[in-house]
Amino acid sequence: MGIMQTSVSGMKAQANRLSAVSENIANVSTVGYKKSSTEFSTLVLASNKNSHNAGGVETHVRRSIALSGGTMGTNSATDLAINGNGFFVVEDARGNTFLTRAGSFVPDSEGNLVNSAGFYLLGYSMANGDPSVTLNSLQGQERINVNSVSMRATPSTEGTFSANFDARAPAVVPTAGPPPVDLPSANLASSAYTSKSSLVVYDNLGGAVKLDLYLTKTADNNWEIAVFDQADATAGGFPYGGAGLLGSQALAFDPTNGSILAAPATSINITVPGGQPLTIDLKGLTQLKADFTPLVATANGNAPGAVSGVSIGANGIVALTMEDGSMKNAYRIALANVPSPDLLTPLSGNVYSANLESGSVFVGFPGTGSLGTIAGSTLEQSNVDLAEELSTMIESQRNYTANSKVFQTGSDILDVLVNLKR
């Protein structure tokens, strides 16, 4: 009987091994799948030097969750893979949170990013600026929705203007009236100026407001910037009607290196017509002996419109491209990990949950600490080695057959024992 029980234990162990192999082969093409392997340990019964009590074998299933699979490129910007450690944080339809490496996300009918198993990608909203991460909890995140800013207008409140002013330009000399009657800040009918540029900002309703920036050299190393509403211009410039001038600011530059001086100012404040107070940062201005060269002209805010594209950076920032070409940072994806990923509890849908053996989750943004970075238009493949699985299957099949022979031998011996009575 001991022989038969031990052989049954062996057959059961090999069956468990074959079960893991079959699962691995079935999921060889599953995105982000982590293979299972079966380890054996002996069960020893009390014996002495004159007799041996056959024990058995038991199996332990191990998941190679920490082992990354290969990557493949795709044409979808919302297909995501993780280069390095960490997991995406997802939730099911009931709001239960899990970890996964399966990053095949697509927008559903409502714009939420969901993978093929029906789990929604979570992240932190950037509606109120850069978010802060909750380090020890998966809570506080929301579903990433690529339609979240559609038809929402955001007024401009901050802008940046950077350029090189030509230090060789002559100072503007007023031709009539007391100075500075011919400077843009003093004359809406006609004016002399050195250079001109423009910047588009947005009012409260998302309407585009084009600002004309007039740059005038008033003396050596001294300039003036004047901002006009182009809607009040005639033929795209002077004369300006209505309110015309929105604001002006004197500027000074260091004659030794051409950088802008803190005094009198390194920014200009105006109010956007129909919009909000706007601060234009001018710290990037220089005055060098080179042609006038605009470098950067940006402003926050956006016009109402549908999302035309999505891009996801290595740092997890989800940027939405609007129909007018503007971009808005809408979310930031966080990654989570545990001290022992291989001991996570696997669940259906290629997701995992933390337990006492794996340790508690810790959360951070991609590229911080030990967490990896995110690769867009990329998917992580299964880490199953098909050739290895087929070899394991053949080996287990032979071992199962050998155990069955032992069982058959034990059965024959038992028949001999029973037949002694006959």
pLDDT surpasses 60 at 178: no
Tokens 């069955």 map to which residue?
A: 404
pLDDT surpasses 80 at 51: no
51 assigned to some structural domain: yes
Q: What pLDDT was estimated at residue 187?
A: 80
Distance CA 180, CA 194 (A): 14
**Domain range for 315:** 76-146+307-380
214 assigned to some structural domain: yes
Average pLDDT estimate for 79-93: 96
Q: Where are any strands of DSSP class E within 113-258?
A: 113-114, 120-125, 142-143, 158-166, 195-202, 208-219, 222-229, 233-234, 237-240, 245-252
Helices in 84-172 by DSSP H: which ranges? none
Domain count of the chain?
3
Q: Sign of dihedral through CA atoms 46, 52, 55, 57?
A: positive
Q: At 282, which CATH number?
A: 2.60.98.20
Do residue 387 and residue 398 come from a single domain?
A: yes
pLDDT for 191-216, tens place per residue?
889 999 999 999 999 899 999 999 99
Average pLDDT estimate for 59-63: 89
Residue 264 contacts by C-beta under 8 Å, 6 or more apart in sequence? Answer: 249, 250, 251, 252
- Nearest 5°: phi and psi at 262? -65, -30
102 assigned to some structural domain: yes
Do residue 319 and residue 389 come from a single domain?
A: no
pLDDT surpasses 70 at 62: yes
Distance CA 307, CA 329 (A): 12
pLDDT surpasses 90 at 305: no
198 assigned to some structural domain: yes
pLDDT band at 48 (very low <50, low <70, confident <90, very high): low
Q: What pLDDT was estimated at residue 76?
A: 93
DSSP character at residue 150 = T
Q: What pLDDT was estimated at residue 306?
A: 78
Do residue 259 and residue 327 come from a single domain?
A: no
Average pLDDT estimate for 313-320: 94
Do residue 82 and residue 106 come from a single domain?
A: yes
Q: What pLDDT was estimated at residue 2?
A: 74
For all residues of the chain together, what is the average pLDDT? Answer: 90
* Contact in structure between 80 and 88 (CB atoms under 8 Å): yes
pLDDT for 224-237, tens place per residue?
999 999 999 987 88
Tokens 């380090």 map to which residue?
A: 135
358 assigned to some structural domain: yes
Do residue 313 and residue 368 come from a single domain?
A: yes
70 assigned to some structural domain: no
Q: Please state whether beta strands 267-271 and 245-252 pair in parallel, antiparallel, or not at all (unpaired).
A: unpaired
Do residue 330 and residue 259 come from a single domain?
A: no
pLDDT surpasses 90 at 47: no
pLDDT surpasses 90 at 335: yes
153 assigned to some structural domain: no
Do residue 403 and residue 372 come from a single domain?
A: no
Q: Which amino acid is at 39?
A: E
Do residue 249 and residue 375 come from a single domain?
A: no
Q: What pLDDT was estimated at residue 186?
A: 81
* Contact in structure between 87 and 99 (CB atoms under 8 Å): yes
Q: Which of 299, 333, 367 is the last residue of a domain?
A: 299
pLDDT surpasses 70 at 180: no
Average pLDDT estimate for 279-285: 96
Q: What pLDDT was estimated at residue 151?
A: 66
pLDDT for 106-157, tens place per residue?
999 999 999 989 999 999 999 888 899 999 999 889 999 998 776 678 899 9
pLDDT band at 174 (very low <50, low <70, confident <90, very high): low
Q: What tokens appear for 394 in the block?
A: 């053949």
Residue 356 contacts by C-beta under 8 Å, 6 or more apart in sequence? Answer: none
Do residue 141 and residue 257 come from a single domain?
A: no
pLDDT band at 338 (very low <50, low <70, confident <90, very high): very high
pLDDT for 361-370, tens place per residue?
999 999 999 9
Do residue 205 and residue 247 come from a single domain?
A: yes
pLDDT for 369-421, tens place per residue?
999 999 999 999 999 999 999 999 999 999 999 988 888 888 888 888 878 87
pLDDT band at 46 (very low <50, low <70, confident <90, very high): low
pLDDT for 401-412, tens place per residue?
998 888 888 888
Q: What pLDDT was estimated at residue 52?
A: 61
Do residue 185 and residue 287 come from a single domain?
A: yes
Q: What is the DSSP string of 294-333?
A: EEEEEE--B-S--EEEEEE-TT-EEEEEETTS-EEEEEE-
Do residue 197 and residue 272 come from a single domain?
A: yes
376 assigned to some structural domain: yes
